[in-house]
């Protein structure tokens, strides 16, 4: 990665938890989202119908663990696996990998976010 690939977003101090900022990355609109002090960046174009997914609600992934036949599945919310849900029709994506939760073959483009000297940058190379 070279410095030319980095797109400045804004100062880390200006972000509060849940804040998001839209930036243009190589002609595409990308949403940078602060979740629990961590930063994520996704293309702001939902794979369903091009909705503004980066403006959607952030939550936690519901994970289940198979116990044994005849038993209930143990379910919980994963604190370290944030998701985002598109505000138009609710398609939800893993914020880290971009995978659509109902169909892992559908992957929303994601980008690395770097914080350097208190400034947040998006790496213009898709992950």
* CA 23 to chain CA centroid, nearest Å: 14
Phi, psi for residue 113 in degrees, rounded to 5: -120, 130
**Residues 61-100 within binding reach of ligand FES (CB under 6 A):** 86, 88-91
Residue with Cβ nearer ligand FES (48 or 60): 48
CB of 66 to ligand FES, least distance (A): 28
Dihedral Cα 25, 29, 34, 39, nearest 10 deg: -30
Residues 33-52: x/- map of binding to ligand FES (CB under 6 A)? -------------x-xx-x-
CB of 93 to ligand FES, least distance (A): 9
CB of 82 to ligand FES, least distance (A): 17
Q: Are 77 and 64 in contact (CB under 8 A)?
A: no
Residues that bind ligand FES (CB under 6 A): 46, 48-49, 51, 53, 86, 88-91
């Amino acid at each position: 990665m070279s410095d030319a690939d980095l797109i400045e977003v804004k100062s880390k101090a200006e972000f509060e938890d849940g804040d998001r900022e839209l930036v243009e990355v190589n002609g595409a609109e990308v949403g940078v989202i602060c979740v629990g002090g961590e930063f994520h960046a996704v293309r702001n174009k939902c794979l369903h119908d091009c909705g503004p997914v980066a403006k959607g609600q952030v939550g936690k992934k519901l994970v289940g663990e198979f116990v044994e036949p005849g038993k209930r599945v143990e379910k919980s919310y994963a604190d370290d696996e944030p998701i985002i849900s598109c505000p138009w029709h609710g398609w939800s994506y893993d914020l880290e990998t971009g995978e659509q939760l109902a169909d892992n073959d559908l992957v929303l483009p994601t980008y690395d976010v770097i914080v350097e000297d208190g400034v947040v940058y998006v790496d213009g190379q898709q992950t």
